[in-house]
Amino acid sequence: MFSSIRGTKDILPKDQKYWDYFKHHAFKQSEIYGFERIETPTFEMTDLFLRGIGMGTDIVTKETYSFLDRGKNNITLRPEGTASVCRAYIENSMHSESQPKKMYYFTSIFRYERPQSGRLREHHQFGIETIGSNDPLLDGEIIHFAWTLLNNLGIKKLNLNINTIGDKTDRENYIKNLDNYYKKSGWDNSKCKDCENRINTNTLRILDCKNINCQTYISDSPDILEHVSNSSLEHFDKVKKYLDISNINYNVNKTLVRGLDYYTNSVFEITSDVDKSQNALVGGGRYNGLIEQLGGPSTPGTGFGMGVERVINEIIKSGINISEDNKTKILFTSINPSSYENKIKYNLIARKNNINSEISTDNKSLKSTMRYANKNNFTMIVIFGDKTDKKYISTKNLINGNQEEINENQLLELLKKSNE
């Protein structure tokens, strides 16, 4: 017997209501905020992610699914969404269109990491990207979008952490200060293995470390807000102003840098108090140098990625009621073979009228048919049968229990009304 590969999971029919619920809210809100949908390929050239995400990031060094295809090309399954959207922006000359270009996506993500609650090796990400403007208002908008979406889904116990890592020059200067601090801190013998690598490849990522031995040194590290330019601080102040006007509470977390090298200026994460075993539900920020780094014109951008499985876990653990679709759903059945044609005929009429309907199969007894209908959320059963040599049609409303006999004209009228 085969089983799913570790780190992957089937999304079963009984779970689809949560996914439909998420997509309905996410897609509807995207349209309200002026975003258009984009879909990119599942795999890209490996260099796209090496240049975009960064050689020293955990994603590139530990987690990508990369391989040589039959044409000897280095291919990587998409480990995040932003780089692919930026590649599409460059390749399709979207810079020549009206700016900013606002796009959203819903896609599979592949990372070879330790499977955990809400985060599998194949998981799903919903994201938005706004490319073509450096206005801090747009940084505020993407945070507001994420916060509003989670609230509209029913998730209320949220925490927002924000920070700025400045522009490219600010970041380079700050990293030099971090290097000097860690070299003088006496930390050499107690840091974790990841930080041993990061201190030589990606010092900024040390601030993300959750290891207890590293936390002491991280908490005393230089304050990034004291090492960014006035223009970067002004940008950050305008983002905070947007959040203040929106009545969204936030915490400025000086160690928040996010795990991808392309971030500049504003970064943020939203976490939940419901399931603290999960990491951020959503994270993102500005990436002003990424388009140019990938070979395009100098173009600012900002966006976020939201872990769909994590959000759905929150919905379930929070006990949020997902209202079922109340549309009519009819099951046609017959008591004897002579009514076989009728259940086919009226099932076709129901579907022509855009009514969800099925035919009872396998010669089930009426009792078994009723049990099947109740388990599968049918709202009505239509029974074709014979009574003292007379054909009859009986309907049973499975919501209120009402049962009555009707004729064919009444059934046709019922099917018309059910579609209204």
pLDDT tens, residue by residue, 236-273: 999 999 999 999 999 998 888 776 778 889 999 999 88
User: Backbone phi, then psi, for 302, in 5-degree steps?
Assistant: -155, 150
pLDDT of residue 187: 64
pLDDT single digits (tens) 25-44: 999 999 999 999 999 999 99
pLDDT of residue 136: 95
Residue 140 CB neighbour total at 10 angstroms: 22
Give the CA diameter of the chain: 99
Regarding whether 413 and 292 lie in a shared domain, the answer is no
Distance CA 227, CA 177 (A): 9
DSSP state of 250: -
Distance CA 65, CA 395 (A): 55
361 lies in some domain: yes
Q: Is the pLDDT of residue 110 over 80?
A: yes
Regarding whether 159 and 272 lie in a shared domain, the answer is yes
pLDDT single digits (tens) 205-225: 777 777 777 777 777 778 888
CATH number at residue 384: 3.40.50.800
Instruction: Kindly report the average pLDDT of the chain as a whole number.
Output: 87
Regarding whether 163 and 32 lie in a shared domain, the answer is yes
pLDDT of residue 325: 62
Regarding whether 298 and 342 lie in a shared domain, the answer is no
Q: Which of 211-225, 232-246, 290-304, 347-361 has the lowest mean pLDDT?
A: 211-225
Of residues 223 and 344, more confidence is placed in 344
Residue 373 CB neighbour total at 10 angstroms: 21
Q: Is the pLDDT of residue 332 over 70?
A: yes
Pair 31, 103: CB distance under 8 Å: no
pLDDT of residue 254: 85
pLDDT of residue 392: 84
Distance CA 34, CA 173 (A): 37
Residue ending a domain, among 277, 293, 317, is: 317
Regarding whether 336 and 311 lie in a shared domain, the answer is no
CATH number at residue 157: 3.30.930.10
Regarding whether 147 and 261 lie in a shared domain, the answer is yes
Structure-block tokens of residue 11: 């999304």
Q: Is the pLDDT of residue 61 over 90?
A: no
324 lies in some domain: no
Domain count, the chain: 2
186 lies in some domain: no
What confidence category does residue 340 fall into, taking pLDDT thresholds of 50, 70 and 90?
confident
Residue 253 CB neighbour total at 10 angstroms: 16
Mean pLDDT of 293-309: 95
pLDDT of residue 131: 97
Regarding whether 414 and 278 lie in a shared domain, the answer is no
Q: Is the pLDDT of residue 126 over 70?
A: yes
Q: Which amino acid is at 202?
A: N
Alpha carbon distance, N-terminus to C-terminus of the chain: 47
211 lies in some domain: no
Residue ending a domain, among 267, 282, 317, is: 317
Residues 154-175 as b/e (b if ≥16 CB within 10 A, e otherwise) read ebeebebbbbbbbbeebbeebe
pLDDT single digits (tens) 172-203: 888 888 777 777 666 666 667 777 777 777 77
Regarding whether 410 and 263 lie in a shared domain, the answer is no
What percentage of the chain reaches a pLDDT higher than 70?
Answer: 91
pTM value is 0.85
274 lies in some domain: yes
Q: Is the pLDDT of residue 277 over 80?
A: no
Residue 89 CB neighbour total at 10 angstroms: 24
Report the chain's C-alpha Rg in angstroms: 28
Pair 317, 115: CB distance under 8 Å: no
DSSP secondary structure, 291-335, as one string: HHHTTS-S--EEEEEEEHHHHHHHHHHTT---PPP-S-EEEEEES
185 lies in some domain: no
Q: Which of 17-26, 40-49, 78-87, 115-124 has the lowest mean pLDDT?
A: 115-124
257 lies in some domain: yes
pLDDT of residue 273: 84
Output the CA–CA distances (angstroms, integers) from residue 249 to 144, 238, 257, 324, in the order listed. 11, 15, 19, 33
Residue ending a domain, among 260, 289, 317, is: 317
Output the CA–CA distances (angstroms, integers) from residue 81 to 65, 108, 125, in the order listed. 15, 9, 8
| Residue span of the structural domain in which 128 resides | 13-167+228-317
Regarding whether 335 and 301 lie in a shared domain, the answer is no
Regarding whether 98 and 237 lie in a shared domain, the answer is yes
Of residues 324 and 319, more confidence is placed in 319
Regarding whether 311 and 340 lie in a shared domain, the answer is no
Determine the Cα angle at 363 with ends 361 and 408, to 5°. 75
206 lies in some domain: no
Regarding whether 333 and 307 lie in a shared domain, the answer is no
